[in-house]
Amino acid sequence: MFNKIALVGGTHGNETSGIQLIRNWQAFGLPSRFSTLNVSLNIANEAALEANVRFVEEDLNRQFTFDGLASSNTSKEAVLAKTLNQKFGPKGNSATDFVIDIHNTTSAMDATLILLEADEFHTQLGRYVKQHMPEANILVEDEKPYLEHGYLCTTGKKGVMIEVGGQPQGVLREDVYLLTQTMAEVILDFCVAYNQGDISTDALPPCEAFRLGENISFPLSEKGQRTAMIHHSFQDSDFAPLLPGMPMFRTFDGKDINWEGDKETYPHFINEAAYHKLDVAFATAERFTL
């Protein structure tokens, strides 16, 4: 039963579509079909919004590990995380049943629902979203237990992320905004149906989903400078199969570097701006049936 739901935008201050959705629902109200739900509308990092940056000192969406929340770190975001953990959590013993945290990406990921578990509940949610929004991608990051993630949404008993792209940082695109709104509404529709006892795994058709593999780095020189860029044929191909032998990078001296895995992978976060400093080129995934 979802007694308390928190919808969050602005965890990253330059991701405008979630911020605008929160502001619009604050101004104009939630669609009336959600009147039975107790939904709070929240902006997470006002200082980052004001500065139009992802974060002021540290990535807020990596601060919510138990160690991070217990640390004496005094960065703006580490301090903010403790405040938000009191508001939405406390993590591990949360007063909030469900935290839905809204993000956008410069990668062409379209509307992606990020789940951190693939248990019965999340299987129901993923199938429901795919059934009602067939264009959605369902991405499962369950490489470690739910509570070991540092994401803001793990302050809730359950937590998911909406991730939509491609949208440049600081820019609001109507297409991305509408996908974000649709996915948020479908998730809330699920909550209504769940509370009414209308959800059963058997009644929902199994669906395609992706399971996070690993991050792939840009090729770097000995001095740590990139020696290649994402190949033009690979750019904007998020969640399309990358087959062994297909090009993924083009070096600055004009050579192709191909995917050398022993089978296909399903890349995403291809050329995401926020991973610039980490030199992450993309993440891999396996396709499976949820």
Residue 208 counted as an annotated binding residue: no
What residues from 69 to 108 belong to the interface with its own copies (CB under 8 A)? 106
In DSSP terms, 162 is beta-bridged to 102, 113
Tell me if residue 48 falls in helix, strand or coil: helix
**Contact call for residue 219 and its own copies (CB under 8 A):** no
Going from the C-alpha of 22 to that of each of 30, 43, 91, 175, 191, the distances in angstroms are 9, 7, 23, 17, 18
271 binds its own copies (CB under 8 A): yes
Q: Is 175 an interacting residue with respect to its own copies (CB under 8 A)? A: yes
In what helix (H) or strand (E) does residue 19 lie, and over which residues does it extend? Answer: helix 16-28
Known binder of ligand: residue 12? yes
Question: What number of residues does the chain have?
Answer: 290
Site stretch for its own copies (CB under 8 A), options 114-122, 135-143, 203-211, 268-276:
268-276
Question: Which is nearer to its own copies, 243 or 273 (by Cβ)?
Answer: 273
Of the candidates 163, 174, 260, 272, the residue annotated as catalytic is 163
Residue where the block lists tokens 């793990």: 154
CB of 172 to its own copies, least distance (A): 5
Cα Dmax for the chain: 60
Residue 103 labelled as part of a binding site:
yes
Closest CA to 63 of 152, 145, 196: 152
185 is catalytic: no
Residues 103-162 interacting with its own copies (rule: CB under 8 A): 106
Contact region with its own copies (CB under 8 A), list: 41-49, 68-76, 79-87, 249-257: 249-257
The strand pair at 98-105 and 158-165 is best described as parallel
Binding of its own copies by 52 (CB under 8 A): yes
Using rule CB under 8 A, residue 253 touches its own copies: yes
Q: Interface with its own copies includes 45 (CB under 8 A)?
A: no
- H-helix or E-strand containing 47? helix 46-51
- Can you tell me the distance from the alpha carbon of 107 to that of 110, in angstroms, rounded to the nearest whole number? 8
Rounded CA-CA distance 220/228 in Å is: 8
Tokens linked to 100: 């839905």
Compare residues 15 and 96 and give the one whose CB is closer to its own copies.
15
Known binding-site residues for Zn(2+) equal 12, 15, 103
Catalytic residues: 163
- Chain residues that interact with its own copies, rule: CB under 8 A: 20, 23-24, 27-28, 52, 106, 166, 168-175, 177-178, 229-232, 235, 250, 252-253, 271-273, 276-277
